[in-house]
Chains A and B, each alone.
Chain A
């Protein structure tokens, strides 16, 4: 009987060691296909949970690839009318209370957006994982009830902001359910936890995401997508500086 147990354990270990994991780069392609679109239009809610208070902000957002995006905050009243435009490497903010447009640059890019766990430079990141990382599947795990691949992503270029990322990717839906972003030296900087996923056509997309700057205190920033449309027609003027003051 003991021999049978040992044989079974041995077979399990050998199976685990020689298990054929799928090609990580193929999975990245599937994730990109899910997460990226030619254009998107969405309405979102951002809940910033700091040590002392919780603030809720709503916005309407338009994006074109990873190059251009435009957001307009609609609530609360204090933030209403604040607009943010990204065009390539440039980022501008319009503040209705001062009627001024300022370009966010240098050190200011490191500051958080509306007190959230996201910095302005997070908005400047490339969104295509396939283009920027090579991936290896390191294992599998049941994460919050879903079967996932554990993937380790290594930046292809030294210019990529995060040189290492670890993802737990839903095996069936190809949505990263959990993400760890590391500094070059190995320190964990940011985590992303997808709490709810929605289906739009044949695409699965994160609906409720908790962003956490691991170097900061607080419970993180909850980002909820209330409505999203993919590949919609967006007038070109939306992504112009003139639209900031409209």
Chain B
């Protein structure tokens, strides 16, 4: 009976009820939409990271730190035999890193030189172009690198580097291809060449800085010089950034929920005031104060329930569009070097995300609907019948 009465009252409130339902629905759509964006962004970044550079993790030289240029020229060692077996099977890809300088159009640009086997298959890098070009040293760069260095396909540019002993060496390299990669860690400030060629240039045969592993379950025991870095470890900065982004998102939605709840609260306060005679009649007919409070609370909860349905109907086209077509961030965002933003972010919605959002909104709405009804508890039926608030 309580739910029936609540439903009638909602109907009776007409436009006011409709506005409340739409406001709550919009907040729900916003929360689910943004959570879907963060989840999709994270998944895009993780997929790109796996496909382009990190596989299922890396066996990395213990001295290598990608943020510490100090470490680049001393963090390499001969590839252990058991890892070389994986490389030979095609389930691991060694990468050697050194620092260098190029001189396009007489300008000097410091960069990272990365060596990777031209014949590797499992990373998406188009390394086939690095295959021996005779006297030429073919090199591969990303489109961002090409843009910042003004290099084009076919350009010849002088590269200067130090070998493993510290002696300067220099040679001309040919830009064999410019790749479009969404994974900026394989693009910005670096040039790729064949691993054997770089080993020769560095006078460091059979060495690598890290070895990308196709399947983390395959990681063999290695000496203390190497350490395994899982994909979660490699993406830890991304996770940390996403956590911060989500926190900002939650704060924004807490604010929106607050505004929606003020509307509900206001509606309830007004309802309790306007319907004091009705409350008195209910009390006179034998309804307990608890039952009356429950009825008003049920009304509030019904707003949230209807809002959930409305959010499903109104939000579905939006969710489907962003879940299939995705959202491409403006070009300027790509300059920030944030992973996962170079290609369209396909939004990803999980059942847990949707259910938790509905539950949170329903519970908060119920709570906000319940607070104004506390006055009913202090109301005498006689006063209520006379239209007084006690």
Chain A interface residues toward B at CB < 8 A = 51, 105-108, 110-112, 155, 157-163, 183-185, 187, 189, 213, 215-218
> Could you say which of B101-109, B147-155, B244-252, B328-336 contacts chain A?
B101-109
Contact, CB under 8 Å: A106 / B72: yes
Q: Which residues from B are CB-within-8-Å of A189?
A: 160, 168, 170
- Other than the given A163-B167, A184-B163, A187-B169, 12 more pairs (CB < 8 A) read A51-B106, A107-B72, A107-B99, A107-B110, A110-B101, A158-B166, A160-B166, A161-B166, A183-B170, A185-B171, A215-B106, A216-B106
Chain B interface residues toward A at CB < 8 A = 68-73, 99-101, 103, 105-108, 110-112, 158, 160, 162-163, 165-171
In the assembled complex, 11 residue pairs joining A and B whose CB atoms fall closer than 8 Å, in A order, are A106-B73, A106-B99, A108-B110, A159-B166, A183-B171, A185-B170, A185-B171, A189-B160, A215-B170, A217-B105, A218-B106
Contact, CB under 8 Å: B160 / A185: no
Q: Which residues from A are CB-within-8-Å of B73?
A: 106
Contact, CB under 8 Å: A105 / B170: no
Contact, CB under 8 Å: B110 / A111: yes
CB distance from B74 to the nearest CB of A (A): 10
Cα distance A162–B169 in the bound complex, in angstroms? 8
The one of A105, A106, A215 in contact with B103, judged by C-beta atoms closer than 8 angstroms, is A215
The one of A110, A158, A215 in contact with B99, judged by C-beta atoms closer than 8 angstroms, is A110
Contact A107:B171 (CB < 8 A) given known A159-B166, A189-B160? no
Q: Which residues from B are CB-within-8-Å of A159?
A: 165-167
Contact, CB under 8 Å: B167 / A184: yes
**Smallest CB-CB A-B distances: 7 pairs:** A106-B69, A217-B106, A183-B170, A158-B165, A184-B169, A187-B170, A215-B103
Cα distance A187–B158 in the bound complex, in angstroms? 10
Q: Which residue of B lies closest to A112 (CB)?
A: B108
Cα distance A111–B160 in the bound complex, in angstroms? 12
Cα distance A108–B110 in the bound complex, in angstroms? 8
Q: Which residue of A lies closest to B164 (CB)?
A: A158
Contact A217:B167 (CB < 8 A) given known A105-B69, A106-B99? no
Contact A184:B168 (CB < 8 A) given known A107-B99, A107-B110, A111-B110? yes
Cα distance A184–B110 in the bound complex, in angstroms? 19
